[in-house]
Amino acid sequence: MKIELTKNAIEWFEKEVGVSKGSGVRFMGKVYGKTEVHEGFSIGMNICQPEDILTKIVVNGVTYFIEKNDDWFFSGYDLKVDYDKKSDEPIYTFIDQIA
C-alpha cells in the first residue's frame, strides 16, 4: 500500500489547508458517503501527527499518512490524491494493487 500525491494536490494542501514542514495529514475512512470501492464510507483527512503509521509519504517536510487502524479501509489498494480545480478540493482514487 502506498500513497501518491500529485503536484496540484500538494499545492492545495500547502495553500488551502496551510500545512508546512513538520505537519501531518492523516487519510482515513469515515462513515457516510461513498468511494469507487466503498458504499457508505468516504475518505476523511485530519491534520495531526502520526501515532501508528501503516504507510506514509513525506513531501516538503509534510507527512501524509494512513494509520494501521485504517487498514480495513485501504487494504488491497494504493491511494492517489489529486486536486479538482472545478470543485476546489482533493480527489481520492483507489488503485487496485493487483492490477
Q: Are 12 and 83 in contact (CB under 8 A)?
A: yes
Instruction: Give residue limits of the domains in the chain.
Output: 3-96
pLDDT by residue (tens digit) across 28-74? 987 666 666 666 667 989 999 999 999 999 999 999 999 999 998 89
- The C-alpha atoms of residue 78 and residue 75 are separated, in whole angstroms, by 8
Domain 3-96 has CATH 2.60.300: yes
Q: What is the DSSP letter of 61?
A: T
Residue that has been written with the C-alpha cell 502506498 in this structure: 2
pLDDT of residue 42: 79
Q: Are 23 and 63 in contact (CB under 8 A)?
A: yes
What are φ and ψ of residue 72, in 5° steps?
A: -55, -30
- State the pTM of this model: 0.90
Q: Which three cell numbers stand for residue 94?
A: 483507489
